[in-house]
Structure 1
Amino acid sequence: MSDENAPAMDYAAHEATYEGFINFSKVGTVAVLTIVVCLIMFGFGGTAAVVFGWLMLFAMLVSSAIGLALGASGWIPPTVVFGLTCVLAVLTV
């Protein structure tokens, strides 16, 4: 038989990786929804919708970076930007 033993699983590292994946999934989902609303603003809105769409895309990038840095509650900043983008889309499209 083999004299080598497989190392025990590092549960702390596994759980940290899993939490990071779940956080990235939440932030990524909200970011994609924001991009879709911005595309609707670009396609069906006027000049104001296009300007606000670009501003919201930039805000989405910043809030997603902040959200990824926050950890477990990282979905909150991109969700605020998504809500604001939806309000602007309703008002400008």
Structure 2
Amino acid sequence: MSEDNASAMDYDSHERTYEAFINFSKIGTVAVLNIVVCLILFAFGGTTAVVFGWLMLIATLVATAIGMALGASGWIPPTAVFGLTVVLAVLMV
């Protein structure tokens, strides 16, 4: 039988967890897209593209860490790095 002394659900905790999950999903999606573009630079670019691919990969890790610390607007730094990586990929490949 169920117990009558079960505690009520903590809706504030649920909402904070949901918001954190959504923010992590945004940041993670942009970071994975940037890694894919870096892989394109590695595969189809020359020596210069490989160097810029490594630099953009490191920049992605740093921007992702900064984005995780920012919270709700954390998608902005990885997106800026992604935009720069796409521009470099278009110019070099």
TM-score range normalised by the length of the shorter chain: over 0.9
Q: Please, what TM-score do these two structures have when normalized by structure 1?
A: 0.95
Q: Which stretches in structure 1 are left out of the alignment for 5+ residues?
A: none
Once the two structures are superposed, residues 50-76 of structure 1 have per-residue CA deviations (whole angstroms, 9 ceiling, x without a partner) of 000000000000000000110111000
Q: Equivalent residue for 2:13?
A: 13
Query: Which structure 1 residue ranges, 4+ long, deviate > 6 Å from structure 2?
Result: none
What SS does the aligned partner of 1:72 have? coil
What is the letter of the counterpart of residue 40 of structure 1? Answer: I
TM-score (norm 2): 0.95
The 5 A counterparts of 1:27-66 are 27-66=27-66
Question: Structure 2, unaligned stretches of length 5 or more?
Answer: none
SS at structure 2 position matched to 1:7: coil
When the two structures are aligned, how many residues end up with a matched partner? 93
Looking at structure 2, the residues matched to 64 and 2 of structure 1 have their Cα atoms a distance apart, in angstroms, of 45
Q: Distance in 1 between matches of 2:52 and 2:92?
A: 9
Percent identity of the aligned residues? 78
The RMSD of aligned alpha carbons is 1.1
Q: CA deviation at 1:6?
A: 1.4
